[in-house]
Structure 1
Amino acid sequence: MIEVLAPAEAVQAAPELAEVFVSAFGAPGYDEDRADAERFATEQLPVHAERDDFKLVAARSDGRIVGFAYGFTGQRGQWWPDRVAAAVPAELAEEWVGGHFEVVELAVAVEAQRQGLGTALMEALMTDLPHRKALLSTYVDDRPAPRLYQRMGWRVLVPDLGWGSALYGLDRAMP
């Protein structure tokens, strides 16, 4: 079952979300550790929950969160949009960066992977948004996440931003 958590509910669920984070990103090749998950739960998520149009969707199995995805309206003056704008051609930044829906995290616990949860979470996350454009960054190499985004109609805008991440965009007005 996938549900939308209000910002306060998301922050309250942070310890459980951190467990999913460390399960998903603690796997070899991702190499995030418990300290990274703790920073996510205590620093990143509470700040992001205050951003405009914050939306977090969570998947539950047997009452426990096994996957989540979230984002918000990205604006110039925020760390990630400014970093992206500095790394891409000016025309691309003008068209895409600022006022976009910024997909920040998609994480599925290892035991719940390969069951279509990532797709279901992204579909739920992208439903009923007021934004025409959406952005995210993910790994440049061949992993499940880039393949998922491409299957869902996201396109590579910049193959490598210079720090091992590709920039993906979705024009939601396009069929």
Structure 2
Amino acid sequence: MVRFPGHGRSHPDDIVIGPLDLPGHVDEALAVQAVAFGLGPDEVAVRRQIVLRHMTFPGARAFGATVEGHLVGFVYGMPNDRTHWWSTVVEPYLRARGHDDWLDDSFVITELHVHPRYQKHGIGRALITTITDGADEPRSILSAIDVESPARHLYRSLGYQDLARQVHFPSAVKPYAVMGAPLPLPRG
């Protein structure tokens, strides 16, 4: 577990980063994701089933950020598998750019969300570095909405580079970018 001063109040809370029993806290995590990502109840219901299924995959693990026992951020991921739905969608985009080898020997960051009240205080960075520090794979891969955003800035600062852009997922309105970085991720 990692403890560090919190979100910039005059009396910062201790933010604790540690392993998360995501199936046991799925509703709490999805409440954070709903606020951070702007999801409605129907989208949350669909994602709940996806998260629970993902957490049964070999090597899947999650970490959470808590303040006074309340979840304020989480990350989960797993070793990538080309047969997983996400990989089948991004593979043609990566192949077209000569990067489909990134689907092998990579740890995929499936979701990373921090409640907006707690963003811009190092929680996302702490979560992603903590989960990737335990990866056996030599690199990490993820997808993010393909706009210049604080999330994309964070990923670039950690060594992630664009592998493919304008990736269209069947149910997503906005296109995504697929990004990859060698592990371990840099600090600082």
What TM-score, normalized by structure 1, do the two folds share?
A: 0.87
1:82-107 deviation digits (Å, cap 9, x = unpaired): 111122226421x2113321111010
| SS of match in other structure, 1:160 | strand
Contact 1:81 1:98 in 2 (8 A): no
* Number of residue pairs the alignment of both structures matches: 165
Distance in 2 (CA, whole Å) between partners of 1:37 and 1:21 is 8
Counterpart position of 2:31: 19
Q: Amino acid of the residue matched to residue 134 of structure 1?
A: S
Distance in 1 (CA, whole Å) between partners of 2:130 and 2:183 is 14
| SS of match in other structure, 1:67 | strand
Counterpart position of 1:100: 106
1:4-30 deviation digits (Å, cap 9, x = unpaired): 12xxx210111111111111111xxxx
Q: CA deviation at 1:134?
A: 1.3
| SS of match in other structure, 2:22 | helix
Q: CA deviation at 1:173?
A: 6.8
Distance in 1 (CA, whole Å) between partners of 2:119 and 2:88 is 32
Distance in 2 (CA, whole Å) between partners of 1:174 and 1:33 is 33
Provide runs of 4+ in structure 1 moved above 6 Å.
none
Counterpart position of 1:165: 176
Contact 1:88 1:161 in 2 (8 A): no
| SS of match in other structure, 2:166 | coil
Counterpart position of 2:74: 68
Alignment match of 2:128 (pick from 122, 128, 135): 122
Alignment match of 1:148 (pick from 149, 154, 157): 154
| SS of match in other structure, 1:129 | coil
Identical aligned residues as a percent: 25
Contact 2:159 2:185 in 1 (8 A): no
Q: CA deviation at 1:79?
A: 0.5
Aligned in 2, Cα 1:173/1:114: closer, same or farther, shift over 3 Å?
closer
Contact 2:108 2:141 in 1 (8 A): yes
Distance in 2 (CA, whole Å) between partners of 1:105 and 1:140 is 15
- Root mean square deviation of aligned Cα: 1.7
Q: CA deviation at 1:115?
A: 1.5
Structure 1 gaps of 5+ residues are 27-31
Aligned in 2, Cα 1:161/1:65: closer, same or farther, shift over 3 Å?
same
Alignment match of 1:3 (pick from 15, 18, 42): 18
Structure with higher helix content: 1
Contact 2:93 2:164 in 1 (8 A): no
Contact 2:80 2:108 in 1 (8 A): yes
